[in-house]
């Protein structure tokens, strides 16, 4: 009896035990299987009922034996007096017994809470079957058009990387000899090893206006050693983005002219967005498989772009990574980016807007239902902000592209698709 009392007493103090399925739950009165805390002590259903009935009747029992019967599951009916004494000993209190009125009130409370929960549940946003279908289609479209083995990259004209110091020297001395070598990672970490402001200025002054710095007569076209490879990469990516766009539900309902207008103005933004998948925060590079296809800021400057684009672009990539988007959110954002009604040349703005609105609702619903806190906090707003960032990146890219394609020896390194999409200054 003593041991049972202690066991029940201990479990009473530790309410967590009530939820711990590994701890045996034993009635502190009779040793039978307990069902939980009743009137302040761990007991079985039988002893719970016995205590309530006794208290309600204000019953007075007397022990037919010596007043110290050992209560067990089997003999608990034999001596009510000792059973009740045991109940009080393990801490059962009549104050815990509810009056009939209280029982009724409690029942009503439980009913009310259940109803409230049901209402809440019915009001909670749910991803409809149709919305889920949109998500599934976009996921499939993306997986079909984004090869994360990057195995096609070896079909591009190969990357040619020039040692940065050598490059600077060559540019300053206007030497016509070009030394090329394949890249090893230490050559091109000018950006990630906390660059000094002066380096930005240097890069800016070096590459900011290459039209005046690399005249055709001095072997200018070979300056941009990464241009052929990256032009092929961009051209390839354009094709993949077109393939993705065509699978966006609703996109094919647009006129051919509107499809082209949307793609022409958004494709560079989508390329920047999708490239986030290969962006690596550890070394601030786009890592597409082997070291040959690991692109750092310096590689892109060797394709004719400068820090005015690359600094905000890397910032954008870092910001995107930190959002930790689900793939569902990533593909929806790309689709929303493409279906922007305010792009130049779009005729049927209401239809584009309707398609974009539907995608935005899917994205918001998805975030509410599937993105757990704290990552979901303001996530939709942050994603829309990223679209605004992309607009200025797009603008800066166009500016730099115009300078780049101005020179025939540069534009001849591009591909017909790139020239068609981004424009050809010569023609
Ligand atoms: Zn019992
Ligand atoms: Zn007794």
DSSP secondary structure, 178-191, as one string: ---B---GGGG-TT
Q: How far is the CA of 66 from the centre of ligand 1 (A)?
A: 21
pLDDT at residue 113 is higher than 50: yes
> Looking at the structure, do residues 15 and 145 belong to the same domain, yes or no?
no
| Final residue belonging to a domain, choices 100, 120, 140 | 120
User: Is residue 23 very low, low, confident or very high in pLDDT (cuts 50, 70, 90)?
Assistant: low
Q: Do 409 and 320 share a structural domain?
A: yes
Dihedral sign computed on CA atoms, order 317, 323, 326, 328: negative
Check: CB of residue 38 under 8 Å from CB of residue 51: yes
Distance 95 CA to ligand 2 centre (A): 24
**Ligand 1 centroid – CA 75 distance (Å):** 10
Residues 134 and 63 in one domain: no
User: How many domains would you assign to the chain?
Assistant: 2
* Distance in Å, CA 71 to ligand 1 centroid: 8
What is the CATH number for 104? Answer: 3.30.50.10
Looking at the fold, whether 215 and 356 belong to one and the same domain comes out as: yes
Q: Coil, strand, or helix at residue 213? A: helix
* pLDDT bucket at 99, cuts 50 / 70 / 90: confident
Chain segment 154-181, per-residue pLDDT in tens:
999 999 998 655 544 333 333 333 333 3
What does 44-85 look like in DSSP terms, one character per residue? -HHHHHHHHHHHHHT-----SSSS-----TTTTTT-HHHHHH
pLDDT-based confidence at residue 223 (cuts at 50, 70, 90): confident
pLDDT in the model for residue 197:
35
Q: Is the pTM of this model over 0.85?
A: no
Contact predicate 415/231, CB 8 Å: yes
Domain identity same for 241 and 200? yes
Among the three residues 88, 120, 152, which one is the final residue of a domain in this structure? 120
Whether residues 99 and 135 fall in one domain? no
Contact between 348 and 259 under an 8 Å Cβ cutoff? The reply is no
What does the block give as tokens for 85?
């004494």
Q: What is the CATH number of the domain that holds 370?
A: 1.10.565.10
Q: What is the CA radius of gyration of the chain?
A: 36
How far does residue 29's CA lie from ligand 2's centre (Å)? Answer: 13
Res 9 pLDDT > 80 = no
Q: 116 with 135, same domain?
A: no
62 Cα: distance to centroid of ligand 1 (angstroms): 19
Q: Which ligand is nearest to the CA of 90?
A: 1
pLDDT band at 117 (very low <50, low <70, confident <90, very high): very high
Per residue in 314-351, pLDDT tens? 999 999 999 999 999 999 999 999 999 999 999 999 99
The whole-angstrom separation of Cα 402 and Cα 309 is: 13
88 lies in the same domain as 163: no
Quick one: pLDDT at residue 221? 41
Domain that holds residue 19: 2-120
* Interval 234-242 mean pLDDT: 97
Q: Is the same domain home to 116 and 134? A: no
Q: What is the pLDDT of residues 180-200, one digit of tens each?
A: 333 333 333 333 333 333 333
C-alpha dist (Å) from residue 323 to 56, 273, 276, 286, 393:
62, 13, 11, 17, 19
Q: Are residues 45 and 28 in the same domain?
A: yes
Q: Which of 97, 120, 143 is the last residue of a domain?
A: 120
DSSP per-residue letters across 257-325? HHHHHHHHHHHHHHHHHHGGGGEETTTTEEE-SSGGGEE-HHHHHTTT--HHHHHHHHHHHHHHHHH--
What's the confidence (pLDDT) of residue 425? 53
49 with 16, same domain: the answer is yes
- Give the DSSP H/E element, type plus range, for residue 129: helix 129-145
Looking at the structure, do residues 115 and 143 belong to the same domain, yes or no? no
- Enumerate residues 6+ apart whose C-beta is below 8 A from 402: 423, 425
State yes or no: pLDDT of 8 exceeds 80.
Answer: no
Instruction: Please state the rounded mean pLDDT for residues 50-68.
Output: 93
Distance 26 CA to ligand 2 centre (A): 21
């Amino acid at each position: 009896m003593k041991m049972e009392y202690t066991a029940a007493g201990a479990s009473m103090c530790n309410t967590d035990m009530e939820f711990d399925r590994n701890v045996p739950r034993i009635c502190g009165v009779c040793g039978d299987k307990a069902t939980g805390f009743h009137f302040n002590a761990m007991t079985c259903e039988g002893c719970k009922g016995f205590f309530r009935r006794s208290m309600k009747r204000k019953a007075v029992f007397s022990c037919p034996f010596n007043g110290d019967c050992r209560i067990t599951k089997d003999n608990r009916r034999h001596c009510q007096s000792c059973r009740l004494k045991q109940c009080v000993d393990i801490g059962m209190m009549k104050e815990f017994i509810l009056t009939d009125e209280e029982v009724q009130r409690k029942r009503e409370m439980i009913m009310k809470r259940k109803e409230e929960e049901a209402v809440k549940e019915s009001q909670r946003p749910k991803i409809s079957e149709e919305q889920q279908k949109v998500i599934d289609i976009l996921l499939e479209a993306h997986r079909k058009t984004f090869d994360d083995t990057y195995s096609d990259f070896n079909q591009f004209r190969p990357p040619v990387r020039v040692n940065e110091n050598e490059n600077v020297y060559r540019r300053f001395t206007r030497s016509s000899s070009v030394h090329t070598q394949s890249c090893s990672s230490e050559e091109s970490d000018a950006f990630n090893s906390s660059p000094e402001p002066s380096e930005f200025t240097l890069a800016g002054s070096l590459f900011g206006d290459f039209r005046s710095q690399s005249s055709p007569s001095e072997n200018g076209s070979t300056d941009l050693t990464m241009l052929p490879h990256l032009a092929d990469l961009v051209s390839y990516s354009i094709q993949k983005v077109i393939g993705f766009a065509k699978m966006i539900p609703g996109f094919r309902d647009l006129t051919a002219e509107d499809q082209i207008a949307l793609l022409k103005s958004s494709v560079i933004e989508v390329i920047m967005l999708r490239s986030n998948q290969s962006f690596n925060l550890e070394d601030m590079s786009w890592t597409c498989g082997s070291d040959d296809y690991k692109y750092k800021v310096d590689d892109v400057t060797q394709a004719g772009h400068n820090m005015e684009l690359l600094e905000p672009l890397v910032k954008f990539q870092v910001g995107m990574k930190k959002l930790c988007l689900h793939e569902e959110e990533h593909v929806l954002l790309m689709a929303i980016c493409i279906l922007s009604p305010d792009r130049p040349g779009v005729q049927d703005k209401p239809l584009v807007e309707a398609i974009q609105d539907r995608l935005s609702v899917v994205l918001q619903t998805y975030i509410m239902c599937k993105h757990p806190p704290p990552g979901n906090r303001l996530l939709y707003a942050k994603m829309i902000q990223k679209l605004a960032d992309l607009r200025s990146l797009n603008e800066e890219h166009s500016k730099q592209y115009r300078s780049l394609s101005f020179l025939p020896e540069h534009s001849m390194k591009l591909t017909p698709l790139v020239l068609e999409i981004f424009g050809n200054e010569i023609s």
